[in-house]
Structure formats: C-alpha cells, structure tokens
C-alpha cells in the first residue's frame, strides 16, 4: 500500500518534469531531455518496437511487403521526455522503410507510435496520457519522399482540467533517390 510520503515523492518527480520541460525544452543540460535516435539496419533485428502488438504486427508486415520488392532500408526518429529523476515519461516515434533504385524512391512506408511509461516501479501509474496524433503530412515524389507527424501528450494535476501541461512533439524523415536521408524533431 502506498504511503502519503511515497505519493508525495512520486508527485514531486512528475511535477519536476513539468516545470523543467516548460522552462527550457531546448537545453541539452536541462532536466527535460530530447533525443533523436538514428540508423538501424533492417536485417539485424535491432530496434524492434516495444509493447504494442498491433504496431509490431504492422512493422513486420511493412518489412515483409518491402522485402518482396527490394532490400529496404529502415530509418527512425524519436522524441522523448524525462523528468528530474531521469525517468522517461513518454516517447513519440516515427519509423520509415524505403527502397531506392536509379535515383528514385521505389518503396516508402511509415509507422508512428507513442509510448507512455509508468513513473513508479511498484504500481502502474502513468500520469501522462497520449491524446492522439494531431497532424500528418506525406510528400511523394519520384526522387524524394517525406513524412511529418505530430502527437499530443498531456498531464494534469487534477482530472484533465487543472494545471495541465500539453506537449506536441513533431517528427519528420525525408529520403532521397540517391540513398541519402535526413530527420528532424522538435516540440
């Protein structure tokens, strides 16, 4: 059973994340930690999507579809938020499979997902909530393809109405027909 002191400590850790994030989201030395993670090879089996079986199934299907056509590359970007204790409270991810041939992008598929983590090791408690995907744009061309997505995360002190903090992370990945690629994250 949780004591009042334990609840107070956990609540303080959650609020520390709120305060630090709103104060300085861009600083690499602040409590809020943003991170973009890069290239993983398709054949290595690394970088499997944790947790959600539906997303894992879509991921495997995307790879199976791509391997029938070409030798797909996999790229991904992620935005994550940590509280003052260094615990990852949520992650927002975008993954792209693509193939190129003769200067053209011949296959392009993307998957986006969110993860919200518990802030206590003993009791499942997730004060942050993923409210959904709020934006998406896909640009398709012969020699370049790009995808942009935005998500919405929220934490409130009282029942989704009092002292709420809303975060809108954005992710984008662009691939080119010559095999080069780029990614950016913000929010």
| Segment 101-110, tens digit of pLDDT | 999 999 898 9
| pLDDT one-digit tens code per residue, 17-37 | 432 222 222 222 222 222 233
State the Cα–Cα distance between residues 75 and 147, nearest whole angstrom: 12
This model's pTM is above 0.85 = no
The residues spanned by each domain of the chain are 4-186
Residues for the chain: how many in total? 187
State the Cα–Cα distance between residues 5 and 85, nearest whole angstrom: 17
């Amino acid at each position: 059973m949780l004591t009042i002191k334990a609840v107070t400590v956990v609540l303080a850790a959650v609020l520390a994340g709120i305060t630090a994030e709103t104060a300085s989201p861009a600083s690499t030395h602040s409590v809020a930690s943003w991170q973009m993670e890069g290239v993983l090879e398709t054949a290595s089996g690394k970088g499997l999507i944790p947790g959600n079986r539906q997303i894992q199934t879509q991921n495997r299907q995307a790879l199976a579809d791509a391997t029938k056509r070409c030798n797909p590359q996999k790229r991904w970007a992620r935005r994550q938020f940590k509280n003052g204790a260094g615990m990852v409270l949520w992650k927002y991810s975008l993954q792209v499979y693509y193939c190129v041939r003769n200067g053209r992008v011949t296959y392009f598929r993307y998957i986006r997902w969110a993860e919200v983590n518990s802030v206590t090791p003993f009791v499942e408690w997730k004060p942050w909530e993923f409210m959904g995907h709020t934006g998406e744009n896909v640009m398709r061309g012969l020699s370049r393809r790009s995808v942009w997505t935005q998500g919405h995360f929220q934490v409130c002190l009282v029942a989704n109405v009092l002292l709420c903090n809303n975060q809108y992370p954005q992710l984008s990945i662009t691939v080119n027909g010559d095999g080069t690629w780029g990614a950016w994250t913000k929010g």
